[in-house]
Amino acid sequence: MSEVNQEAPDAWEKAQKILVILAHPDDPEFFCGATLARWARAGHEIHYFLLTNGNKGGEPDMTSVQLCAIRKVEQQNAAAVIGVQSVQYLNLEDGYLIPSLELRREIVRVLRREKPDILVTCDPTLLYSWFGRVNHPDHRAAGQVVLDAVFPAAGNGHFFPELLTEELQPHTPREVWVSLAASPTTTLDVTDTWEVKMNALKEHKSQIGDPLLFEQRMLARHTDDSTDETPRYEEKFRVLNFV
């Protein structure tokens, strides 16, 4: 595994299994793609589990079936750019995500089956996005149901005991990295992998519009203390520890 700064919050002593649970195809790359690329570069094992099929975010002249198929191909290509090992879907309908007990059970099932060391999700409390829009309700629902699954259910066999009959023993991730955090506690310098993030996002052709204009917008997202000539990029999280 590549050497990393031992002061960094992700300077884990050995390779980690990292599971990303978010709502839509393209969420991993948009929310924290540079961080995921940083982790893949460091030798960590990364897997995606996406809750919806993304069948509503696209051109109006496409059918939902066409859009779903296109977005899955785009997501697979983007994940390959990042260095992700697998992409799985729950295949729920885009836009209708609800943090129900049934969905919580499904997330607990995934956590017990995959047994990640590190879990990545998003912040259910973020109502407004950083660029002045309402955060998608699926994002908020995804963050809510994932955190509810992590604690107290995933690591406690008294919750959803029927999963024990599937030989899925209790498991709690050691750390949860909450992306799009309203009140972040951890900042990573991802300048070295920002280009990887952009290249991965360019695979989501149905979502980004003109690729040159998109690249200009992404390059402009450097930190306030850097410049277009010498840009520096960051991704921020709230990190929860369950050691």
Q: Check residue 26 and give its pLDDT.
A: 97
**Is the preceding omega at residue 116 within 30 degrees of 0, hence cis?**
no
With tokens 């990545």, the residue in question is 120
Q: Are 135 and 180 in contact (CB under 8 A)?
A: yes
Query: In one letter, which amino acid is 226?
Result: S
Q: How do strand 86-92 and strand 45-52 relate by DSSP bridges?
A: parallel
d(CA 101, CA 112): 16
**Rg of the chain in Å (alpha carbons):** 18
Q: CB-based contacts of 165: which residues, under 8 Å, 6+ apart?
A: none
Q: Provide the CATH number for the domain formed by 17-241 in this structure.
A: 3.40.50.10320
With tokens 């995804």, the residue in question is 142
Q: Check residue 142 and give its pLDDT.
A: 98
Alpha helices in 149-240 (DSSP H): 194-202, 205-208, 211-219
Domain boundaries, the chain: 17-241
Which pTM was predicted? 0.95
Q: Check residue 161 and give its pLDDT.
A: 97
Q: Check residue 2 and give its pLDDT.
A: 40
d(CA 212, CA 233): 19
Q: Are 120 and 32 in contact (CB under 8 A)?
A: yes
pLDDT in tens, the chain (243 residues): 444 445 799 999 999 999 999 999 999 999 999 999 999 999 999 999 999 999 997 777 889 999 999 999 999 999 999 999 999 999 999 999 999 999 999 999 999 999 999 999 999 999 998 777 899 999 999 999 999 999 999 999 999 999 999 999 999 999 999 999 999 999 999 999 999 999 999 999 999 999 999 999 999 999 999 999 999 999 999 999 997
Rounded to the nearest angstrom, the gap between the alpha carbon of residue 185 and the centroid of all alpha carbons in its chain is 17
Q: Check residue 132 and give its pLDDT.
A: 79
